[in-house]
Amino acid sequence: MLRDSQAGFSHHWRNPRGLLLLASLLVLMSMVNGCAFVRGEVGEPFPEDRIQTIEKGITNRQEVAQQFGAPDDIVQANGHEIFHYRRFDSKLGWLLFFSRLNIGSDHLWVFFNPQGIVDDVVFGNRTKNVEFQIWPFGE
Q: What is the mean pLDDT of the chain?
A: 78
Residues 16 and 74 in one domain: no
3-class state of residue 5 by DSSP: helix
Residues 13 and 69 in one domain: no
Contact by Cβ (8 Å): 106, 68 = no
Residue 2 has pLDDT above 60, yes or no: no
Residue 109 has pLDDT above 80, yes or no: yes
Q: Whole-prediction pTM value?
A: 0.64
Question: Under 8 Å CB-to-CB from 115, ≥6 apart: which residues?
Answer: none
How remote is the C-alpha of 94 from its chain's centroid? 14
Residues 115 and 85 in one domain: yes
CA distance 19 to 14: 7
Residues 59 and 80 in one domain: yes
Residues 9 and 59 in one domain: no
CA distance 122 to 106: 11
Could you report the per-residue pLDDT of 34-67, keeping only the tens digit for each? 677 777 788 888 888 899 999 999 999 999 999 9
Residues 109 and 97 in one domain: yes
123, amino acid identity? F
Contact by Cβ (8 Å): 118, 54 = yes
Residue 93 vs residue 120, higher pLDDT: 120
Residues 21 and 52 in one domain: no
CA distance 22 to 1: 26
pLDDT score for 1: 46
Could you report the per-residue pLDDT of 121-138, keeping only the tens digit for each? 999 876 677 665 665 555
The domain total for the chain is: 2
* pLDDT tier, 113 (very low <50, low <70, confident <90, very high otherwise): very high
* pLDDT tier, 139 (very low <50, low <70, confident <90, very high otherwise): low
Nearest residue to 87 (alpha-carbon basis) of 127, 132, 122, 47: 127
Residue 113 vs residue 10, higher pLDDT: 113
